[in-house]
Amino acid sequence: MTAFSPLLTELFDIPAPSTAMDTALQHAINIKTKPPGSLGALERVAHQIGRIQRSATPDLARPTMLVFAGDHGVVAAGVSPYPQAVTAQMVLNFLRGGAAINVFCRTHGIELEVVNAGVAADFPSHASLVDIPVARGTQNFLEAPAMTRDQLETALAAGAARVVAHASRGARMIGFGEMGIGNTSSAACLMQRLTGLPLAACVGRGTGVDDDGLARKTAILERALAAHPATGDQPDPLETLATFGGFEIAMMTGAYLAAAKLGLVIVVDGFISTSALLVAARVSPAVLDYCVFAHASDETGHRAMLDTLGAKPLLQLGLRLGEGTGAALAMPLIQAAAAFLREMATFEGAGVSEREATGQ
């Protein structure tokens, strides 16, 4: 694609976290009152958080969840057993506080914001809603690219702006969820085109299609990929996003890039959220250094996508709901990792004897 605006081009330039503190951080973890490695994955996460914040006393203040919602034109082709209207109905459920993501965020003290990225409906004003639709749903990517270049740039910038707003209010850890009937179809096409894996390895049951529905969905997506053939050995990630993505996926892509640019700890949710990260990582690989992967979804393709990204998910709960639910469940564990590094006593400070060297 042609050059983006200077603001977005700067967003794409993400520095890798400093490794200067690696030895000091590992020492700080090792001298806590515990056998080395006994906190398992939490030690790895604590080290990563310390590196991101360049501190052995990290603070994950104001954990925040942004849920981006958008409609997809490809739903008209029959990829989902649910009607498009469910997207808007679920946004209203979020605003009323009745969805799983509301429950999990309330339980764990996570600030929740719902972003209308491009739903084909109007919503009443609400304190938890940011109403910034790019359009009333994307185009049907069987017939045309899902969005124009201008719409893509608008969505990327809008997602980035929401992260900047929360970071300016003190958020240090952020996660992204989504809602959009048809968005597993977009995510599957993004995954196939950017990884080169067979489409069958990328397409799942989404909202619960039966075997016939899965076969129909796969056939539709095969036609869509054939209608927009790849050019070159390494497809342009943003052109691919414009072709197959939803507005919610595009806003999440911009949000990932901005969060990494600002040095936030990013908590990655499931299949669709990870597809947006896949695009962001192809734009700027350093974004992955800021990501903690919450869980491995039961949606077909998610584990393979995680493997492509070199990710080590914290949880395996059989989730496939979306909304950011897996990320919200993982946030308390990530806070615990930061807390033990910040607050746990050292052997010397607690007057506890360390393990004796045995030469074995």
- Measured CA to CA, the distance from residue 337 to residue 342 in angstroms comes to 9
User: What is the model's pLDDT at position 13?
Assistant: 87
N-term to C-term CA, the chain: 58
Are residues 194 and 171 part of one domain? yes
Catalytic residue among 222, 299, 323, 356: 323
User: What is the model's pLDDT at position 351?
Assistant: 78
Are residues 44 and 167 part of one domain? no
- Measured CA to CA, the distance from residue 147 to residue 150 in angstroms comes to 8
User: What is the model's pLDDT at position 1?
Assistant: 53
Structure tokens at 205: 């049951």
User: What is the model's pLDDT at position 357?
Assistant: 56
Helix (H) or strand (E) holding 292: strand 291-293
What are the per-10-residue average pLDDT scores of the chain (360 residues)?
70 87 95 95 97 96 98 95 96 98 98 98 97 98 97 97 97 98 97 96 84 91 96 91 98 98 97 98 96 95 96 96 97 98 89 63
Our CA dihedral for 225, 295, 50, 333, rounded to 10 degrees, sits at 160
Are residues 195 and 138 part of one domain? yes
Q: What is the pLDDT of residues 214-259, one digit of tens each?
A: 899 999 999 999 999 998 888 999 999 999 999 999 999 999 999 9
User: What is the model's pLDDT at position 30?
Assistant: 95
Q: What is the pLDDT of residues 59-105, one digit of tens each?
A: 999 999 999 999 999 999 999 999 999 999 999 999 999 999 999 99
Domain that holds residue 13: 6-57+343-350
Are residues 166 and 27 part of one domain? no
User: What is the model's pLDDT at position 58?
Assistant: 97
360 occurs within a structural domain: no
pTM given for the model: 0.95
Catalytic residue check, 113: no
Closest by CA position to 68, among listed 205, 152, 183, 238:
183
Are residues 221 and 179 part of one domain? yes
State the CATH number of the domain containing residue 41: 1.10.1610.10
User: What is the model's pLDDT at position 165?
Assistant: 97
Number of domains in the chain: 2
